Structure 1
Amino acid sequence: MQQLTPGLARIRIKNLRLRTYIGIKEEEILNQQDILINAVILYPAADAVSGNQIEQALNYRTITKAIIAHVEGNRFALLERLTQELLDIVMQHDQVRYAELEVDKPHALRFAESVSITLSAQRD
């Protein structure tokens, strides 16, 4: 687990439910499916905390809108690739020090609630 250092904020995006084409079977290629996205993003927030100015904060709305556009505008064969592409979108923001993304594909396996992939990245 990532240790929280002073002045480092933890943003959590919880259960972002989107629909996209994901998978390799014909049924998956032809029909959109639900996916669930959870993200943890750490960034230095001392200036935002002390100044209370939107320009000093990491804009999680902008990040979320980019994730939505990417998921809804593309097709994916592998859950791993989708997860990496979303992690790359988050890490494009220089303020981000650490990010972890989990993408769930509900009902991907019989008898299982979902299958998920989690990937993370860290900037020194």
Structure 2
Amino acid sequence: MSNAVINITNLRLRTFIGFNPEEMTKQQDVVINIEIHYPADKAMTNDDVEAALNYKVITKKVISHVEAGHFKLLEKLVSDVLDICSEHDWTEYARVTIDKPHALRFADSVSLSLEWRK
């Protein structure tokens, strides 16, 4: 069995993230990185679109959820995105890392990662 690894790199979105008064009323940038593993044998041999995991569908769900959401904690946001990435039956492993740029004064960003394995 051959596993494919899909990487969605630096998906830049805006959402409400944080629990400070200013963060609850002003959208902030987040940068999302996703890794999804799934068996790709049929897609590799048949060149059949239906045999491949559709990363565009997953990305659209992520965008819709993140942009419409209000999150106090990065942990909740990452967990929600991970749930979207792992909901397809073919997904065997998923990892999501979300960066919150400029969250700390002297750092480029703060990030949190979560993993899921079937």
CA RMSD of aligned residues (A): 0.6
From 18, 23, 30, the equivalent of 1:35 is: 30
Alignment of 1:60-99 (within 5 A): 60-99=55-94
Q: Normalising to structure 2: TM-score of the pair?
A: 0.99
Measured in 1, the distance between the counterparts of 2:75 and 2:107 equals 18
Q: Percent identity?
A: 51
Give the C-alpha shift of residue 80 in structure 1: 0.5
Normalised TM-score (structure 1): 0.94
- Looking at structure 2, the residues matched to 115 and 53 of structure 1 have their Cα atoms a distance apart, in angstroms, of 40
Q: Which runs of 4+ in 1 moved over 6 A?
A: none
Query: Structure 1: 5+ residue runs without aligned partners?
Result: 1-5
| Superimposed CA distance per residue, residues 81-113 of structure 1 (whole angstroms, 9 cap, x where no aligned partner) | 100010001111011000000000000011000
- C-alpha displacement at 1:69, in angstroms? 0.3
Aligned residues: 118
